[in-house]
Amino acid sequence: MGVEGIGARVVRKEDRRFITGQGRYVDDVKMVGMSYAHFIRSPHAHAKVKGINSTEAMKMPGVIAVLTGQQIVDDKVGNLICGWAITSKDGSPMKMGAWPAMAPETVRFVGQAVAVVIAETKNQAKDAAEAVVVDYEELPAVADVRAAIKSGAPQLHPEAPGNIVYDWHIGDEAAVGDAFSKAANVVTLELTNNRLVPNAMEPRAAVAHYDQAEEHYTLYTTSQNPHVARLVLSAFYNIAPEHKLRVIAPDVGGGFGSKIYIYPEEMVALWASKKVNRPVKWTGDRSEAFLTDAHGRDHVSKAEMAFDKDNKILGLRVKTHANFGAYMSLFSSAVPTYLYATLLSGQYVIPAIYAEVIGVYTNTTPVDAYRGAGRPEASYLLERMMETAARQLKVDPTELRKKNFINQFPYQTPVIMAYDIGDFHASIDAAMKAIDYAGFAARKAKAKADGKLRGIGVSCYIEACGIAPSKAVGSLGAGVGLWESAEIRVNPVGTIEVLPGSHSHGQGHETTFCQIIAERLGVPISQVSIVHGDTDKVQFGMGTYGSRSIAVGGAAIVKAMEKVEAKAKKIAAHALEASESDIVIENGEFKVTGTDKAIALPMVALAAYTAHNLPDGMEPGLKETAFYDPTNFTFPAGAYICELEVDPGTGKTSFVNFVAADDFGRLINPMIVEGQVHGGLAQGIGQALLEGAVYDDTGQLVTASFMDYTMPRADDLPSFQLSHTTTLCPGNPLGVKGCGEAGAIGASAAVINAITDAIGNNKLEMPATPDRVWHAIHG
Partner 1 sequence: MYETNYHRASSIDDAVAQFAKGTDSKFLSGGQTLLPVMKQRLAAPSDVIDVAKIKDMIGIDVSGDTVTIKAATPHYDVAQSDAVKKAIPALASLASEIGDPAVRYRGTIGGSLANNDPAADYPAAVLALGATIKTNKRSIAAEDFFKGLFSTALEDGEIITAVSFPVPAKAGYAKFPNPASRFALTGVFVAKTKAGDVRVAATGASQSGVMRVGPIEQALKANWAASALDSVTIAASGLLADIHGSADYRANLVKVMGQRAVTAAG
Give me the residues that bind partner 1 (CB under 8 A), please: 123, 126, 287, 649-652, 690, 694, 702-703, 706-711, 716, 769-771, 774-775, 778
> Nearer Cβ to partner 1, position 336 or 651?
651
Which of 81, 332, 83, 97 lies closest to 195 in space, CA to CA?
A: 332
Three-state DSSP at 141 gives coil
The dihedral through the CA atoms of 405, 342, 397, 688 has a sign that is positive
> Nearer Cβ to partner 1, position 241 or 649?
649
Beta bridge partners of 113: 41
Longest dimension (CA), the chain: 85
The dihedral through the CA atoms of 327, 332, 337, 340 has a sign that is negative
- Alpha-carbon span 538 to 344, nearest angstrom: 37
DSSP designation for 644: E
State in angstroms the smallest separation of the CB of 238 from partner 1: 35
* CB crowding 426-438: b at 16 or more within 10 Å, else e: bbbbbbbebbebe
> Nearer Cβ to partner 1, position 98 or 694?
694
> Nearer Cβ to partner 1, position 308 or 771?
771
State in angstroms the smallest separation of the CB of 193 from partner 1: 18
> Nearer Cβ to partner 1, position 367 or 773?
773
- Alpha-carbon span 195 to 296, nearest angstrom: 6
Which of 42, 45, 695 lies closest to 326 in space, CA to CA?
A: 45
Contacts of 146-151 spanning 24+ positions with Cβ under 8 A: 146/300, 146/321, 148/323, 148/360, 148/361, 148/362, 149/321, 149/358, 149/360
> Nearer Cβ to partner 1, position 470 or 710?
710
State in angstroms the smallest separation of the CB of 115 from partner 1: 18
The answer to whether 669 touches 172, Cβ cutoff 8 Å, is: no
CB atoms within 10 A of CB 234: 18
State in angstroms the smallest separation of the CB of 752 from partner 1: 16
Which of 594, 648, 219, 661 lies closest to 429 in space, CA to CA?
A: 661
State in angstroms the smallest separation of the CB of 37 from partner 1: 17
- Alpha-carbon span 312 to 291, nearest angstrom: 45
> Nearer Cβ to partner 1, position 2 or 770?
770
> Nearer Cβ to partner 1, position 477 or 648?
648
> Nearer Cβ to partner 1, position 125 or 626?
125
> Nearer Cβ to partner 1, position 597 or 772?
772
State in angstroms the smallest separation of the CB of 771 from partner 1: 5
Query: What is the residue type of 212?
Result: Q
State in angstroms the smallest separation of the CB of 775 from partner 1: 7
> Nearer Cβ to partner 1, position 174 or 711?
711
State in angstroms the smallest separation of the CB of 286 from partner 1: 10
- Alpha-carbon span 361 to 164, nearest angstrom: 6
State in angstroms the smallest separation of the CB of 254 from partner 1: 20
- Alpha-carbon span 754 to 734, nearest angstrom: 36
The answer to whether 464 touches 334, Cβ cutoff 8 Å, is: no
Beta bridge partners of 360: 164, 323
DSSP designation for 301: E
> Nearer Cβ to partner 1, position 360 or 689?
689
- Alpha-carbon span 737 to 634, nearest angstrom: 5
> Nearer Cβ to partner 1, position 156 or 690?
690
State in angstroms the smallest separation of the CB of 685 from partner 1: 13
State in angstroms the smallest separation of the CB of 706 from partner 1: 7
The answer to whether 39 touches 107, Cβ cutoff 8 Å, is: no
> Nearer Cβ to partner 1, position 730 or 770?
770
State in angstroms the smallest separation of the CB of 778 from partner 1: 8
Contacts of 769-778 spanning 24+ positions with Cβ under 8 A: 769/651, 769/689, 769/690, 769/710, 770/650, 770/651, 770/652, 770/653, 771/651, 772/651, 773/646, 773/651, 773/652, 773/653, 774/648, 774/650, 774/651, 775/651, 776/651, 777/453, 777/646, 777/648, 777/651
- Alpha-carbon span 40 to 18, nearest angstrom: 33
Which DSSP string corresponds to 167-190?
A: EEEEE-HHHHHHHHHT-SEEEEEE
State in angstroms the smallest separation of the CB of 711 from partner 1: 8
The answer to whether 554 touches 6, Cβ cutoff 8 Å, is: no
